[in-house]
Amino acid sequence: MAGDGLWYKDAVIYELHVRGFYDSDGNGAGEFRGLTLKLDYLSDLGVNALWLLPFYPSPLRDDGYDISDYTNIHPAYGTLDDFRMFLDESHRRGIRVITELVLNHTSDQHPWFQQARSSRENPRRDWYVWSDSVERYKQARIIFTDTELSNWAWDPVSKSYYWHRFFSHQPDLNFDNPAVREAAWEVMKFWFEMGVDGLRLDAVPYLVEREGTSCENLPETHDVLKYLRRRADETFSEKMFLAEANQWPRDVRQYFGDGDECHMAFHFPLMPRMFMAIRLEDRKPIVDIFQQTPEIPATCQWGIFLRNHDELTLEMVTDEERDYMYDEFARDTRAKLNLGIRRRLAPLMEGDRRRVELMNGLLMSMPGTPILYYGDEIGMGDNIYLGDRNGVRTPMQWNGGWNAGFSNADPEQLYSPIISNPVYGYQAVNVESQRRYDHSLLSWTKRLIRLRKSSRVFSRGTMEILKPQNHRVLAYIREFGNERVLVVSNLSSQAQAAELDLKRWKGSIPIEMFGGNLFPPIGDLPYLLTLGPYQFYWFRLRRL
């Protein structure tokens, strides 16, 4: 597993919820022992890193992002020993493990907050952000617009207001206090020492508040991250920070620092533009966002994704683009949540296998480390009638039997109902049935991942976007060392032809990577390709 320490660049990450993956003890919710039993499935799928949603003790009012003890395991998910066993078993299979570090806030049930609110004199008081009026930091926006009216909440115990950027039961920690920074480092150290390979830094733009600003991306916030990175580098090697900063590319760029802050950051603005491009049948949104994406330090990497455990966020688009996305992807308004859409990939693509494949083909060939969301490899559906974001967190569908093979519990006992409609329900969509067929989405996804991992050109290469006249076709060259790959994708629902200017690679032979077949050599004339609806090609360019 060792190498140059940049394992996260060559990773294919799979995001999952321990609670939703496999329930081996029949109590209705998944746990670490269950997940460990499914590691062979994940290894066979080809992913080499897992990102786990929060599994710490928590009242679960934000599905675990409301932590009440940072260095333990929620009893419903097992024990620290179970976690260690899971970690060892993952590492044995060459799979790295990324966990959540929710630094910005705790649960209001955390003993730190309980002490802080107990009296104004308590030594922990200054661990949180307090005020006697709601007039402070008025320029900070509200993130959970569907539930919160203010970023201040009244604490009846100490008779003052506390600051929270998310739910009001998640008070923000005060990172101006050095003791809080120390506590954050101790938590980080605890998990790294145990063997965790990477941490997703939840909600990092909001660590510090300053009057007269948006309270996002402040220099003081970057100081905190640089401090934590320095401590991590002094003590450990090959650990990774992944920043969750839902911001514009120029602001996210700051989270990489000079290679001395976060190793990775999600590319939030790219994601909705991939959906826009396929709907508009036009490459423009994707090309535009790459043009606005700055260079990043050599040791850093973007994290790219189609869907995750949250709503498909539309914070990083214009108002007009957001309206377009709602019109096209959330005609049933129940699908809307906050500034986003709570749906999974397959329903967003109206169950169209070709579109699902194309989106995954883009994801696996664009610059950055791809992140798959559990269940999307079999085309799972969602349930927009469940509250909050729960509709995209339903149990994994393993087979067509009792509780989809997820659990032996009584169906009523499950933490969430299973998807059961005739189109996406577990009898139609499950791992067992897809494992049997070479042409299932699961088998296809496995091949795609294998191909992606076959060359570092995808994980480390540069990207040059070509500009064929036909704007329904997106084409780019990825290049790393002596290797070159040409990716050509038809974003439209109809057959298209495109003429590519490949003069620079004259004399090379394109080899189609899925089948290994040779295409005509590149000559002086523009290279003509025809593509069926939503079809895409990956060509290795071999010099003669």
Cα end-to-end distance, the chain, whole Å:
34
Q: Which of residues 210-249 bind ligand BGC (CB under 6 A)?
A: 244
Q: Which is nearer to ligand BGC, 172 or 357 (CB)?
A: 172
DSSP annotation of 88 reads H
- In angstroms, give the least distance from the CB of 200 to ligand BGC: 9
Instruction: Reply yes or no on whether 244 is catalytic.
Output: yes
Q: Please say whether the beta carbons of 399 and 432 come within 8 A.
A: yes
**Type of residue numbered 41:** Y
> How many Cα atoms occupy the beta-carbon half-sphere of 356 within 13 Å?
23
- In angstroms, give the least distance from the CB of 36 to ligand BGC: 24
- In angstroms, give the least distance from the CB of 309 to ligand BGC: 6
- In angstroms, give the least distance from the CB of 373 to ligand BGC: 12
Query: Rule CB under 6 A: is residue 102 a binding residue for ligand BGC?
Result: yes
| Candidate list 203, 232, 441, 498; residue touching ligand BGC; CB under 6 A | 203
Instruction: Reply yes or no on whether 223 is catalytic.
Output: no
Query: Rule CB under 6 A: is residue 282 a binding residue for ligand BGC?
Result: no
Query: Rule CB under 6 A: is residue 52 a binding residue for ligand BGC?
Result: no
**What is the size of the binding site for ligand BGC (CB under 6 A)?**
9
- In angstroms, give the least distance from the CB of 310 to ligand BGC: 5
Query: Rule CB under 6 A: is residue 310 a binding residue for ligand BGC?
Result: yes
Q: How many helices (H) and strands (E) does the chain have?
A: 16, 21
CA angle 471, 477, 478 (to 5 degrees): 140
Q: Computed over its alpha carbons, how large is the radius of gyration of the chain? A: 24
Tokens found for residue 127? 């661990």
User: Alpha-carbon distance 204 to 208, whole Å?
Assistant: 9
Helix, strand, coil distribution of the chain in percent, nearest 5: 35, 20, 50
Query: Rule CB under 6 A: is residue 202 a binding residue for ligand BGC?
Result: yes
Query: Rule CB under 6 A: is residue 127 a binding residue for ligand BGC?
Result: no
Q: Which residue is nearest to ligand BGC (CB)?
A: 65
Query: Rule CB under 6 A: is residue 315 a binding residue for ligand BGC?
Result: no
At a CB cut-off of 8 Å and minimum separation 6, what does 99 contact?
A: 51, 52, 55, 191, 196, 198, 199, 200
Strand partners for 541: 510
| Candidate list 22, 51, 65, 305; residue touching ligand BGC; CB under 6 A | 65
Query: Rule CB under 6 A: is residue 148 a binding residue for ligand BGC?
Result: no
Q: Which is nearer to ligand BGC, 32 or 166 (CB)?
A: 166
User: Alpha-carbon distance 29 to 406, whole Å?
Assistant: 9
User: Alpha-carbon distance 145 to 538, whole Å?
Assistant: 42
Tokens found for residue 390? 């729960």
Candidate list 202, 209, 261, 311, residue with the active-site label = 202
- In angstroms, give the least distance from the CB of 53 to ligand BGC: 8
The site for ligand BGC (CB under 6 A) is made up of: 62, 65, 102, 166, 202-203, 244, 309-310
Q: Which residues are catalytic?
A: 202, 244
